[in-house]
Structure 1
Amino acid sequence: MPSSLTQLAEAVLKSAKILDAYFEEHNLPQPSFAPDGPADFGISNDAPHVEQARVEAVEAAQELSDLLQGPITFLRPIATGVSLQAISRWDLTSKVPVGGETTYAALASQCNIQEQDMKRLLRYAISHGRLFLEPRPGVVTHSLASRLLSENPLLKDGYWLMAEQYFTAAPNAVLALERWGSTPAEPNHTAFNIAFNTDKAAYEFMSATPEGRALGKRFAMAMTSFARFSSRPSAPGAGRLARLPEAYDWGKLGARKVVDVGGSRGADAIHLAMLYPELTFVVQDLPPMIEGAEVPPELKDRISFVPYSFFTAQTVAADVYIIKQCFHNWPDHYCVRILQNQVPALRSGARLIVIDSVVPPPGTMSLIDERNVRAFDIMMLTNSSGREREEEDWHKIFKAADERFRVNSIKSAHTKGDFGPASAIIEVVFE
C-alpha cells in the first residue's frame, strides 16, 4: 500500500482509469448514487484485473480518507444504527414514492413522531448512508440505495437483519461479556439474550414462541437475501447464490444424494439442482426456517424438505452433506456436537462440504477485507457466541468430533463464491 498522500491519490487515479476504460469499452454507465443509477458495475467474471482495480481503488481511497480525517475521528463512534433501525422499523423506503416525492411532515405523521425527529433521522441517513435525497428543503425523494430497498422485498429482508436484529442486540455486547465472559461460551449468554429478554439461544428462540417464529421466518428470508445479493457491486448476479457453482466442483459428484444441513428455504439446493440434474437434495432446517419454502414444479421430485435440528442425530443417509455458514454461529464445543450428530448416518466415504470462514493471520488481508472479517466476528459474538475461525481451529474441531473425519482440502472461496473475505470450502471425508 502506498504511504504518502500523493501516492495514495495516484493509486486511486490509476485504478479509476482502468475502470473508466472498461466502462467506456463495454458501453457501461458510470457508478452513481442517482435514483436511476446502475445497481452494479457490470464487471464480467472474465475481467478479474478490472475487479482488482476496483478493490485497490477502494483500499487506497479508504486509507487516504482515514489519514486525512486523523486518528481522533476514530474515537468518536457514530450513530448509524439509530437511523437505519428507524428506516427498517417504519418501512420508510415504501412510504416514499418511486419517481415521486414526499415530505418530512408526511412521513412523521405516518409514523406518529415529530417532524423534527424525522428530519434528524433521515438527514443522518442521507449524509452517512446515501439513503434518500432532499432535493429541496423539507422534501424527500429516493436515492439509488433507498429505491433498491423499496423495490426489492428480499433485499429489504437482508437490511432488516442488520438494522433490526443486530442493532437491537449490539449495544448489549459488553454487558453480556461482563455478565458471562469469564465462563466458556454459551449461545444463550449473549447480547441477543439481553436485548430480547430470553434465556433461549437465538435459533431456539426463533422456533419456541409466536414472536420468535415470526422473527425466524424473517431471518430465513434474510439468509436468502444474503445468498442472492453480493456485498460487492462488481457484476450482476454476483451474489453468493449465483456464484455458488464456482466455489466447488459439484459436477464431479455425479448422481448423488445431497443433504443441505441448515439449508433454510432451499435457495442453494434449488440453484444447484437446476445446474446439475443428476443431484437430488434433502434440505434440513428448523420448522420456521423451512415453512413456506417453494420449489419450482420441475424440481419437486428432486428436492424435499425435512424439519431437523443438527443437535439431534442425523437420520438421512446420503453421499454428501453441505453445511454452509452454520458453524460460525456456534461456540467450538457446539460445533463438535453438530459434527458428532452427523456420524450415525455417515457411510464410509461420505463427504462434508463445509462452507465457512477460514480467517488468515492478522495483517495478511487487505484492510477492507480484514475490517469485514472482524465485523462478522463481532456479529457472531453478539448474536450467538459463535466466531470466525482460523485453519488450526477447524482441524481441532474435526479431530475432537471424530478421528474418522479427514480434512481433504481447504480452498479459499473469496474470489469464487463470494461468501465473504475469509470464505473457504472445507472438504471433509468420513473414513
Structure 2
Amino acid sequence: MASQKRIVKLSSIIASNTTTLNNFLVENNLPEPSFEADALWALPIPDDNVDVKAARIAIIDSCIELQALVTGPKELLRYDAVAYVSVRIILRLKLDKSFLVGASTSFEAMAKVSGLSVMNVRRVVRHAILCHRFFQEKKPGVITHSALTAVLAGDALTRNALIVQLQEFAPAGTKAADALENWPNSEENNETGFSLANNSTKSMYDIFALDPGRGSRFGTLFSRPDEPFHMLLDNYPWHDVETFVDVGGSHGSIAVALAERFPHIKCVVQDLPDTVVEGASRLAPALKDRVEFMAHDFFTAQAATADVYYFRSIFHNWSDKYCIKILQALIPALKHGARIIIHERMLPPHDALASADAKPVIKMDILMLQLLNAQQREAEEWLELFRRADSRYRYIGAKQPKGGVRWIIEARWDG
C-alpha cells in the first residue's frame, strides 16, 4: 500500500511540474522538447527563474524514482554490460560525422565510411537508437540524425567530453575496486583505477604527459566554465584586496576578469612554465601592468606576497596529504591577515543528500577517487585540513552563492 501511495504521489508531482514547465515554454513561444535533429539543445531557462528550474529538476528526479519503483529491486540489480558499447563504436569510427545534419544515410554508406560490414553497422546503430536515441530510423534502412547526434555534429566540446568520459573515465571506474583492494586508503595518485586501466605505475597526469593527444582532449573537457565568473566576482568583498595570486591559474581567465572589474587589484597568475608563457601571450596590452604571469609549482615555497591566494578546482585533484603540502608551501610568503580562497564544489551534509545539487558532487567525488585518489570535501573537512596544515590558519567558513555551482571556501593566516 505504501508503494502505491508513493507512485501516485510521484505521478502527481510529475504532472503538476510538467504543467509549470509547459506554461513557461508556451509563454515564451519556445518549441516543445523533442528528439528531432532541429530540437533545442537545452531548455533556455533563465538563472533567475527559480520556479521553472525547480520544476524541471522535480520532473527529472520524480521520473527516475518512479521508474525505479515500478522496475523493482531485482530487475534494477541487472547490470547492463553493453550500455555504451554502440556509442563508443560510433564515436571511434566517426559514424556520427559520416553525413550532414538534415541529410540521410544508409547502413551501406556507413559501412563504406567505417570499413565495417553492413551487418555490424546495422546492429551498432540500432542499439544506439534504441538505448541512447542516437540517430533515427523512421523508414527501414534510412538513417537520419536525432537531437543527440545533431548536438555532437555541432558542438565539438560536447563531443570531446563524451569521448573522454567513455575512453578515459569509464575504464578507470571498472578498475577502481581493484585499486582499493591493492592499495587500501592510498593517497598516491599513481595507485588508482586509472593507473591500473592503463597498465601503468604512473599517475593520470604523467600518463597524459606522455600522450599529448589524450592530454589535450582531457584539457579541452574542462575548457568550458561550469559557472560564469561573476559568481565569484559578485560574491566576495574585493574592495579591500590590492594583490591577488591565482595559484594554478592556467591562462589567467579569472585574473583577467578580476582586473577588468576592479582596476585597483594587481594580479599574479601562477602555473607551469609553458602554460604561463601561453597565458602571457594572450593577455591584452591594457592589462599588462596589472596582470603578471609567473612559473610556479604549488608544492614548492611560495615567493609572491599577496592579500589573497586563490585556488580554483585545485584541491579536489589531490588527497589530504598533498593538499596539506600545498597549504604549507604558502607559509613562507604569507603576511598576517592574508586570505586563502578555495573555489570548488562541496560535498553536501546528510540532510541535503536529496537536493538537486547533491548527485553531481557525489559523482564527482567518486570520479576523483578512481582517477587520482583525490576527493571532494564536506565543510568540516576543510576546517580539519587547514588545522592539520598549520595551527596559524584560521578557517573562516564557506558559502555558496545563489545559483552557483561552486563554494567560496575561505581561511585567514593569523601568523
- Work out whether the TM-score is over 0.5: yes
2:218 aligns with 219
Matches within 5 A, 1:206-245: 206-207=208-209, 209=210, 211=211, 213-225=212-224, 227=225, 239-240=226-227, 242=228, 244-245=229-230
Question: What secondary structure is seen at the aligned counterpart in 1 of 2:302?
Answer: coil
Q: What's the CA shift for 1:205? A: 3.0
2:309 counterpart letter in structure 1 = Y
1:45 matched to 2:44? The reply is: no
Q: What's the CA shift for 1:16? A: 1.1
1:430 matched to 2:413? The reply is: yes
Question: Which of 377, 384, 387 lines up with 2:375 in the alignment?
Answer: 387
1:341 aligns with 329
1:352 aligns with 340
What 5-or-longer segments of structure 2 have no aligned partner? none
User: Are the equivalent residues in 2 in contact too, given 1:187–1:202 (CA < 8 A)?
Assistant: yes
2:37 aligns with 35
The range that moved more, 253-262 or 8-17, is 253-262
What 5-or-longer segments of structure 1 have no aligned partner? 228-238
The range that moved more, 214-223 or 266-275, is 266-275
User: Are the equivalent residues in 1 in contact too, given 2:244–2:306 (CA < 8 A)?
Assistant: yes
Question: Which of 226, 231, 234 lines up with 1:249 in the alignment?
Answer: 234
Q: What's the CA shift for 1:410? A: 0.8
| Cα distance in structure 2, aligned partners of 1:409 and 1:367 | 21
2:53 counterpart letter in structure 1 = E
1:318 aligns with 306
The share of aligned pairs that are identical, in percent, is: 32
1:123 aligns with 126
1:135 matched to 2:123? The reply is: no
Provide Cα deviations, 1:307-361, integer angstroms capped at 9, x if missing partner: 4332222333333222122212221111111211222232222222212232223
The range that moved more, 384-393 or 24-33, is 24-33
Q: What's the CA shift for 1:187? A: 0.8
Question: Which of 10, 14, 31 lines up with 1:12 in the alignment?
Answer: 14
Q: What's the CA shift for 1:273? A: 4.6
1:355 counterpart letter in structure 2 = H
| Cα distance in structure 1, aligned partners of 2:285 and 2:134 | 40
1:372 counterpart letter in structure 2 = P
User: Are the equivalent residues in 2 in contact too, given 1:216–1:288 (CA < 8 A)?
Assistant: no
1:235 aligns with none
Question: What secondary structure is seen at the aligned counterpart in 1 of 2:412?
Answer: strand
Cα separation, partners in 2 of 1:368 and 1:111, compared to 1, 3 Å: farther
Question: Which of 63, 83, 100 lines up with 1:97 in the alignment?
Answer: 100
2:284 aligns with 297
Question: What secondary structure is seen at the aligned counterpart in 2 of 1:134?
Answer: strand
User: Are the equivalent residues in 2 in contact too, given 1:245–1:417 (CA < 8 A)?
Assistant: no
Cα separation, partners in 2 of 1:58 and 1:289, compared to 1, 3 Å: farther
Question: What secondary structure is seen at the aligned counterpart in 1 of 2:136?
Answer: coil
User: Are the equivalent residues in 2 in contact too, given 1:169–1:195 (CA < 8 A)?
Assistant: yes
1:412 aligns with 400
User: Are the equivalent residues in 2 in contact too, given 1:104–1:119 (CA < 8 A)?
Assistant: yes
| Cα distance in structure 1, aligned partners of 2:318 and 2:291 | 27
Q: What's the CA shift for 1:257? A: 3.4
1:57 counterpart letter in structure 2 = I
Root-mean-square deviation (CA, aligned residues, Å) is 2.8
Provide Cα deviations, 1:383-403, integer angstroms capped at 9, x if missing partner: 001122222211111111122
Provide Cα deviations, 1:41-89, integer angstroms capped at 9, x if missing partner: 2222232111111111211121111111111232122233433433443
| Cα distance in structure 1, aligned partners of 2:200 and 2:274 | 18
Matches within 5 A, 1:157-196: 157-181=160-184, 184-196=186-198
Q: What's the CA shift for 1:191? A: 1.1
| Cα distance in structure 2, aligned partners of 1:292 and 1:125 | 40
| Cα distance in structure 2, aligned partners of 1:392 and 1:117 | 53
User: Are the equivalent residues in 2 in contact too, given 1:358–1:388 (CA < 8 A)?
Assistant: yes
Question: What secondary structure is seen at the aligned counterpart in 2 of 1:55?
Answer: helix
2:76 aligns with 74
User: Are the equivalent residues in 1 in contact too, given 2:347–2:358 (CA < 8 A)?
Assistant: no
| Cα distance in structure 2, aligned partners of 1:305 and 1:136 | 58
| Cα distance in structure 2, aligned partners of 1:430 and 1:379 | 32
Cα separation, partners in 2 of 1:328 and 1:425, compared to 1, 3 Å: same
1:264 matched to 2:264? The reply is: no
Q: What's the CA shift for 1:190? A: 0.5
Question: What secondary structure is seen at the aligned counterpart in 2 of 1:224?
Answer: coil
Provide Cα deviations, 1:368-422, integer angstroms capped at 9, x if missing partner: 5443333222211110011222222111111111222222221134x5223xxxx
The range that moved more, 164-173 or 368-377, is 368-377
The range that moved more, 9-18 or 83-92, is 83-92
1:252 counterpart letter in structure 2 = P
Question: What secondary structure is seen at the aligned counterpart in 2 of 1:260?
Answer: strand
2:271 aligns with 285
| Cα distance in structure 2, aligned partners of 1:198 and 1:260 | 32
User: Are the equivalent residues in 2 in contact too, given 1:273–1:299 (CA < 8 A)?
Assistant: no
User: Are the equivalent residues in 1 in contact too, given 2:186–2:373 (CA < 8 A)?
Assistant: no
